Chains A and B, each alone.
Chain A
Amino acid sequence: MSTLQNQIKQVIDTEPVVVFMKGTPDAPACGNSMRALQALWQAGAPITGVDVLPDPRIRQELSAITEWPTIPQVFVKGELIGGADITEELLASGELKEKIDEALGDTHPQTVRTLALAPD
């Protein structure tokens, strides 16, 4: 298994809520990545954003792990919940907030940060 694949798996397993996205939370480079971020924010989630654009291998390795072809990809406690459409649907139904509160506790802090992978 490649080092990059290990790095990606570790991020998925250790970050409470992580979004693999185009751009960063400060500067989203794609409307769908923005939609996923906004839905998570409204659900009160702490967000770790990982930009897939700096190296095409990040996206290739990620999709190889998840068998999910598109970006963004949202994970809560190591579990892929979906892309922007599902994240928005789960926000609208109230399930997203439930899922996050269940995974992180009712009083988790809401922080936003960017995590850079080092493919080499």
Chain B
Amino acid sequence: MAVTTIRNLLVEAFPGGQVDVADRTGGGDHFQVTVVSDAFNGLSLIQQHKLVNAALAGPLADGTIHELRIRTKGTA
């Protein structure tokens, strides 16, 4: 299931971070991800989102993710 795949990729990319993934429409391809991690400390929003996009590059490229909403937060 895509939610699990996405969550696993984010947990792997942001060890120790707090990861939440929601299937926003129930259709299995529109997702809201929320990540709180110290990896974001000191980074601009765009840099933070780039890290999330990079972690999810696979499912973004192969169409598993049709739409992605991102919310990020540092721990500092």
Q: Give A residues with C-beta under 8 Å from B.
A: 32, 67-70, 80-86, 89-90
Interchain CA distance A69-B53 in the complex, whole Å:
7
Partner-A contacts on B (CB < 8 A): 45-46, 49-50, 53, 57, 60-61, 67-71
Q: Which residue of B lies closest to A82 (CB)?
A: B46
Contact B71 A85 (CB under 8 A): yes
List B contacts of A86 (CB < 8 A).
Answer: 45-46, 49
Residues of A near B46 (CB, < 8 A) are 80-82, 86
Q: Tell me whether B53 and A70 are in contact (CB under 8 A).
A: yes
| A residues near B68, Cβ cutoff 8 Å | 70
Do residues B60 and A70 form an inter-chain contact, with CB atoms below 8 A? yes
Assess A89 versus B67: contact at CB under 8 Å? Given A67-B50, A69-B60, A70-B53. no
Q: A67-B50, A80-B46 are in contact. Are A85 and B70 (CB under 8 A)?
A: yes
Closest Cβ of chain B: how far from A91's Cβ, in Å?
A: 12
- Given the known inter-chain contacts A82-B46, A82-B49, A86-B46, please indicate yes or no for A69 contacting B70, CB distance below 8 A: no
A55: shortest Cβ distance to chain B, in Å?
A: 19
B53 A89 Cβ-Cβ under 8 A:
no
A85 touches B60 (CB 8 A): no
Given pairs A69-B53, A85-B49, 11 additional interface contacts (CB within 8 A): A69-B60, A70-B53, A70-B60, A70-B67, A80-B46, A82-B49, A83-B49, A83-B70, A85-B69, A86-B45, A89-B45
